[in-house]
Amino acid sequence: MSDLPLIQADRAVPPPAATTTTRGRGRRLRLLSGTDRVVITLMVLVPLLLVVGLVWLPAGATVLLSGTNWDGIGPLGEIDWVGLKNYDDVVNIYPPFVPAVQNNLLWLAALFVVATPFGMFLAVLLDKEIRGSRFYQTALYLPVVLSLALIGFVWQLIYSRDQGLLNALLGTQTDWYGDPNVNIWAVLLAAGWRHVGYIMLLYLAGLKGVDPSLREAAAVDGSSEASTFFRVVFPVMRPINIIVLVVTVIESLRAFDLVWVINKGRNGLELISALVTQNVVGEASRIGFGSALATIMLVVSLVFITLYLFTVMREDRR
Amino acid sequence: MSRPRTEAEYLARLVPPSVAGLNRRSLLAGAAGTGALLGTGLLAGCGSDSDSGADSKTVSIGSNASDPTPKDVLAKLAAGFQTKSGVTANINTVDHNTFQENINNYLQGKPDDVFTWFAGYRMRFFAAKGLAGDVSDVWGKLSGFSDAFKKASTGDDGKQYFVPASYYPWAVFYRKSVWQQRGYQVPKTLDDFTTLGTQMKKDGLNPIAFADKDGWPAMGTFDILNLRINGYQFHVDLMAGKEAWTSDKVKKVFDTWAGLLPLHQPDALGRTWQEAAQSLQQKKSGMYLLGLFVAQQFNENEQDDIDFFTFPEIDSTIGAKALDAPIDGYMMARKPKSEANAKKLLEYIGGVDAANIMVKGDPGTLVANTGGDTSGYTALKKKAAELVGSATEIAQFLDRDTRPDFASTVMIPALQQFIKDPKDIGGLLTSIENQKKSIFTS
Q: Say what the pLDDT of residue A38 is.
A: 92
Q: Say what the pLDDT of residue A242 is.
A: 83
Note whether B294 and B352 are same-domain residues: no
CA–CA dist B387, B380 (Å, integer): 11
Question: SS3 for A235?
Answer: helix
Closest among B49, B58, B136, B46 to B338, alpha carbons compared: B58
Note whether B223 and B295 are same-domain residues: yes
Residue A14 has pLDDT above 70, yes or no: no
Q: Say what the pLDDT of residue B246 is.
A: 96
Output helix, strand, coil percentages for chain A, rounded to the nearest 5.
Answer: 75, 0, 25
Q: What is the mean pLDDT of residues B155-180?
A: 94
Q: Which chain A residues are closer than 8 Å to B275 by Cβ?
A: 160-163
Note whether B285 and B420 are same-domain residues: yes
CA–CA dist A294, A286 (Å, integer): 12
Q: Say what the pLDDT of residue B3 is.
A: 58
In this complex, the residue of B268, B405, B438 whose CB is nearest that of residue A178 is: B268
| Percent of chain B surpassing pLDDT 90 | 57
Amino acid residing at A238: R
Question: SS3 for A161?
Answer: coil
| B18 is a domain residue | no
Note whether B367 and B266 are same-domain residues: no
Q: Give whole-number Cα distances, B153 to A242, B119, B148, in Å.
A: 60, 6, 9
CA atoms within 13 A on the CB side of B354: 27
Lowest pLDDT segment from A1-5, A130-134, A257-261: A1-5
Starting at the edge strand that comes first in sequence, how are the strands of the sheet with B58-63 ordered?
A: B88-93, B58-63, B114-118, B327-332, B163-167, B366-367
pLDDT tens digits, one per residue of A212-245: 898 889 989 988 888 888 888 888 888 888 888 8
Note whether B47 and B177 are same-domain residues: no
Question: Between chains, do A179 and B269 touch, taking CB under 8 Å as contact?
Answer: yes
pLDDT tens digits, one per residue of A39-74: 999 999 999 999 999 999 999 999 999 998 888 777
Q: Which is it for strands B114-118 and B58-63: parallel, antiparallel or unpaired? A: parallel
Note whether B206 and B348 are same-domain residues: no
| B395 is a domain residue | no
CA–CA dist A112, A104 (Å, integer): 12
Q: What is the mean pLDDT of residues A259-267?
A: 87
Q: Say what the pLDDT of residue B148 is.
A: 81
Closest among B123, B198, B191 to B161, alpha carbons compared: B123
CATH code for the domain of B77: 3.40.190.10
Residue of A179, A185, A273, A281 to mutate, interface with B, max B Cβ within 10 Å = A281
Note whether B79 and B144 are same-domain residues: yes
Amino acid residing at B245: W
What is the H or E stretch that residue B88 is in? strand B88-93
Q: What is the mean pLDDT of residues B144-166?
A: 89
Note whether B92 and B181 are same-domain residues: no
In this complex, the residue of B17, B213, B417 whose CB is nearest that of residue A178 is: B213
Residue B75 has pLDDT above 90, yes or no: yes
| B155 is a domain residue | yes
Note whether B97 and B136 are same-domain residues: yes
- Please identify among residues 75-114 of chain B the ones whose CB lies closer than 8 Å to any CB of chain A: 100-101, 103-105, 108
CA–CA dist A75, B197 (Å, integer): 54
Residue B153 has pLDDT above 60, yes or no: yes
pTM of the model: 0.80
Note whether B407 and B258 are same-domain residues: yes
Task: Determine the Cα angle at B424 with ends B418 and B428, to 5°.
Answer: 60
Note whether B417 and B353 are same-domain residues: no
Question: SS3 for A109?
Answer: helix
Domain membership of residue B226 as a residue range: 170-324+400-440
ipTM for the predicted complex comes to 0.76
| B218 is a domain residue | yes
User: In whole numbers, what is the pLDDT of chain B averaged over residues?
Assistant: 86
Q: Say what the pLDDT of residue A282 is.
A: 73
Query: Residue B184 — pLDDT band, cuts 50, 70, 90?
Result: very high
pLDDT tens digits, one per residue of B367-421: 988 888 888 788 888 999 999 888 888 899 998 999 888 998 999 999 999 999 9
| B95 is a domain residue | yes
| B20 is a domain residue | no
| B247 is a domain residue | yes
Q: Which chain B residues are closer than 8 Å to A288 by Cβ?
A: 442
User: In whole numbers, what is the pLDDT of chain A averaged over residues?
Assistant: 84
pLDDT tens digits, one per residue of B225-241: 999 999 999 999 999 99
Residue B39 has pLDDT above 60, yes or no: no
| B119 is a domain residue | yes
Q: Number of folded domains in chain B?
A: 2
Under 8 Å between Cβ of B275 and B269: no
Note whether B336 and B310 are same-domain residues: no
Residue B23 has pLDDT above 60, yes or no: no
- Please identify among residues 143-182 of chain A the ones whose CB lies closer than 8 Å to any CB of chain B: 147-149, 152-153, 159-163, 173, 175-180
Closest among B261, B255, B284, B263 to B197, alpha carbons compared: B263
Lowest pLDDT segment from A20-29, B33-42, B222-231, B247-256: B33-42
CA atoms within 13 A on the CB side of B132: 32
